[in-house]
A and B are shown apart, each in its own frame.
Chain A
Amino acid sequence: MSGLWVLVRRDVVLAVRQGGEIGLVVGFFILAVVLFPFGVGPEPEMLRRIGSGIVWVAALLAAVSSLDRLFAADYADGGLDLLALSPLPLELAVLAKCAAHWLTTGLPLTVIAPFLALIVDADPAAIPVLVLGLLIGTPALSLIGAVAAALTLGARRPGVLAALLVLPLYLPPLIFGAGAAEAAATGGGVRAELLLLGAFSLIALVVAPVAAAAAVREALE
């Protein structure tokens, strides 16, 4: 099991050292959110209504933009062969890579989300629920993204292909996450939405490492 931790730590160190990989994702997230008021007009009423939805959509896009980081470098430099041969089961190696990916994308996105929610003037009551939703839902983005990233290994434009594959699968967390924030703003109950979001993440936690590991094995053949 110590191998799991070793791999998480290396991937986080790589993301931190490789000049602003985290910065790129966060910058993409901020820009995407800031673009919306220009597109839909600056009426506070409108922005307040769609604010938390905007933040969720931008978080999904930012997560997608970073998926090629999961396996592509290890595939290109032969490291994936060695990972597959190591005593750490490939499913756990995938899980470790997802954890590192989440620590360097989902977590920073969740941390800055409340500030972006203020920019689009989201309802103050919705902001804690938005953050909680992102905290519960973003691990699923990394996990499902890993399946798409593994399936597109060796493809000519893996990033674009992975985005096409994965965005439809991001619909459930988007619906439940944004729905919970919306319900908080209108004074409704948020429990059901957050529980469904959590259920989705848990299912992804079980299914995604197995599926992604199978896809990686196929890519190494």
Chain B
Amino acid sequence: MSGPDLVGEGLACRRGERLVFAGLSCRLAAGGALVLTGANGSGKSSLLRLLATLIAPAAGSLRWGEAPLSRDAVEYRAGLHYLGHLDAIKPALTPREILAFWAGLRGGRNPAIGPALDFFGLGAAADWPCRWLSAGQRRRLALARLIAVPAPVWLLDEPLSALDPEGEERLVSAIAAHRAAGGRVALATHQPIALADAATLSLDAFAPARAPAP
């Protein structure tokens, strides 16, 4: 699984009246990893939402190989796992049902639901209602969504929050396996994460005061 690069050039993002960042360029090749750092409010989540085509850039362009990306990039979106800081977990459903639902919605053939739950240590909790899960277990469930159905691009917003060291280890090995298979990952984090050959992008450098106006 190789395939095109995800390229952003001169990206700017506006939330309401405020320019969050400007003049930001990034590139994510097959097998690559991009770690986004920066102060609170520097636009890490906004950049991930922008890369997910959930919001449109105020300036600059976003491309998947040669193809420009927008909301209508159906194929790109179908190959995307976006993990926001909200986890889309319904208290009344079980972890197994939740994974089956998201896999079914993507139309994935033979989703690896049992193995994904086991990998993140949720095997015993697979058939509990999610209202019984702890914050860390909810995070693990959200992460299990990534490996239940393969997708070439992962966009992860604070994936380490609420995870214990063992969970972090699991995530790092899941990311390594994903990259070894040619997948790409961009993640925002405040905690150090041990990813081999990961590029780091500090969003503090693109705060509008220091960046050229878009």
Contacts and interface: CB of A to CB of B under 8 A. Distances in A.
Contacts of A73: 90
A7 B102 CA distance: 9
Nearest to A80: B88
Nearest to B90: A14
Nearest to A6: B104
Contact of A79 (B54, B55, B88): B88
Nearest to B52: A85
Contact of B107 (A3, A13, A18, A77): A3
B87 A85 contact: no
Interface in B91-116: 92-93, 97, 101-102, 104-107
Contacts of B92: 13-14, 17-18
B119 to A, nearest CB: 20
Contacts of B84: 78, 81
B77 interface: yes
A99 to B, nearest CB: 15
Contacts of B190: none
A82 B93 contact: no
Nearest to A87: B78
Nearest to A88: B105
Contact of B101 (A6, A17, A78): A6
Given A217-B71, A220-B54, A82 B104 contact: no
Contacts of A79: 88, 90
Dominant secondary structure at the B interface:
loop
B89 A77 contact: yes
A220 B71 CA distance: 12
Interface residues of B, number: 27
A78 B102 CA distance: 13
A93 to B, nearest CB: 9
Given A217-B71, A220-B54, A86 B90 contact: no
Interface string A148-162: 000000000000000
B87 A78 contact: yes
B39 interface: no
Contacts of A74: 88
A221 B105 contact: no
Interface in A61-112: 73-74, 76-79, 81-88
Nearest to A16: B92
A87 B90 CA distance: 21
Given A2-B107, A7-B105, A217-B71, A85 B90 contact: no
B1 interface: no
B124 interface: no
A85 B77 contact: yes
Contact of B106 (A10, A77, A86, A217): A86
A77 B55 CA distance: 18
B80 interface: yes
Contact of B88 (A3, A14, A81, A221): A81
Interface in A146-176: none
Contacts of B54: 81, 84-85, 220-221
Contacts of B71: 217
A88 B77 CA distance: 10
B89 A10 contact: no
A141 B77 CA distance: 32
A84 B72 CA distance: 11
Interface of B: 52-56, 71, 74, 77-78, 80, 82, 84-90, 92-93, 97, 101-102, 104-107
20 contacts: A2-B104, A13-B92, A13-B93, A14-B90, A17-B93, A18-B92, A74-B88, A76-B86, A77-B89, A78-B84, A81-B52, A81-B86, A82-B102, A83-B105, A85-B80, A87-B105, A87-B106, A217-B71, A220-B55, A221-B55
Given A10-B101, A13-B97, A86-B105, 5 more contacts: A6-B105, A7-B101, A77-B89, A83-B105, A88-B105
